[in-house]
Chain A
Amino acid sequence: MSPVRLQLPDFCTPRALLAVLVIVSLTAMLLALSSAGFDGLFLTELAHGLMFLVWVGLAGAALLCRLRGHIATQSVARGSAVVLSVLAVLIAVLSEAAYWVLASPKLNPENLWGLPPGHHLLFVLRNVLMGLIVTSLALRYFYVAQQWRLNVESQARARVNALQARIRPHFLYNSMNTIASLTRSDPSRAEEAVQDLADLFRANLNEKRSLITLKEELEAARIYQRIEQLRMGERLKVRWEVKELPMLALVPALTVQPLLENAIGHGVENMEGGGTVTVEGTEADGVIVLRVRNPLPLDGAPGRGGHGIALDNIRERLQLIFGAGAQTRSGREGDEFVVELRFPALLTPPEMAS
């Protein structure tokens, strides 16, 4: 996953400018309330504050609008530092200008803002500090909003992935063809195949439970194997070495079955003589290790991409549920392709990892 970047709102848009003006107005109101309370000076203070802060807000928005592309390439810390420095300099410059206007006897003969003489540096420093505090709060808000959005997105993506992980149309049509054939030659096996297919689709279309027991998932994978067995006959052999696994441990639905599907579709099915897929599982120190191995066709597996998609998908769903506790690995080992999943053996659903 790429490192997190600070994503600022696009300050070039009218909507963002309006938000800036609202923040600026609220800040001016806060300042006026704190210095004047509700007596007669409140409105004067508010007007003064607004006059200054609107300049800061609009000029700041213009600068951030230009710098947005640059900030988006920086890490969160560096991006925040850039934003804070730019605004500090801007506020310093504008404060300096404001000071010159206010302190000039010609432009401001009545000393409207009651600026005490000799406070030049303090005036600028005070403004910069206040500006930095408000900006920091805004940055924090943007960051949290962004994190929240990313979280929502990744959950939505996981849902989509779970949908995509479902049985491929190819399998459905092939199975239907097998059943059509069996209906003539062996009606009782056709009946079994229909029942298996129904069970498999029930497991696949189950929207409600994303976590199921290992036993249920392995059962779904076995049903899948039975149907493929009808189609491929002697060419397909599957070795199950899963007795050691804690069958009540929870896994995301469609963890093992798609791997078996891949191992068959990208491996055994492309070999004229067929081959053996091995599904093996162990548990040690509360960690489950599942490995699915298949022989590789000699001419380099056609459509290896499919392996990748299903695997990315399983990886993402495991990470969403188990966080850093989940690891996936895949690659060639000798003349076999191996996919390995590691995740904690949990009997109760964990909190969603963020």
Chain B
Amino acid sequence: MKLRAIVVDDEELARVRLSALLKELDQVEVVGEAKNAGEALALLPKLDPDLLYLDVRMPGMSGVELARHLGTLDDPPAVIFTTAYDEHAMAAFEAEAVGYLLKPVRREKLAAATERARQLTRPQLGPSPPPTPARTWPCASATGCAC
């Protein structure tokens, strides 16, 4: 099963290119595009994506702000940032992104980041899902945790 992804970028040509590159990948399917954070938020309930490719710099709410907001949701989609200039990396990592890609994005790096996202999020979607009862570490229970 493919990851369902939304591409968020204020520049049309950037969205077009990223979607075209993603079409060539097996792990992922682009189910929607948004040109700002507001549009992306509106699409979330409708499309229930697993993954967002987020431009860092956008008018209105920035990509980093959107990612922080997503972090407060239940079962949020994974985030891979895309940016033209490497000045937001720290903020992006603090927002717990699975990947950080520099534009123009390279196909191999896009594939690697997407694969990482597939392994880290919703592992039940993977080809060899570990059975659910395998989660046996003590802190998984809700009844008091010392660590």
Contacts and interface: CB of A to CB of B under 8 A. Distances in A.
Nearest to A273: B59
Contacts of A101: none
A185 B36 CA distance: 22
B13 A181 contact: yes
B104 A177 contact: yes
B59 A176 contact: no
Interface in A253-276: 269-272
A222 to B, nearest CB: 20
B59 A181 contact: no
A85 interface: no
Interface residues of B, number: 18
Interface string B17-38: 1001000000000000000101
A79 B131 CA distance: 85
Given A269-B59, A272-B60, A230 B104 contact: no
Contact of B59 (A169, A170, A297): A297
Contacts of A178: 11, 13-14
Contacts, number: 56
B89 to A, nearest CB: 14
A231 B59 contact: no
B81 to A, nearest CB: 14
B85 A169 contact: yes
27 contacts: A169-B85, A170-B84, A173-B102, A173-B104, A174-B11, A176-B104, A177-B104, A177-B105, A178-B13, A180-B17, A181-B13, A181-B14, A181-B16, A182-B13, A184-B16, A184-B17, A230-B13, A231-B11, A231-B13, A233-B11, A233-B12, A235-B10, A270-B59, A272-B38, A272-B59, A272-B60, A297-B59
Interface of B: 10-14, 16-17, 20, 36, 38, 59-60, 84-85, 102-105
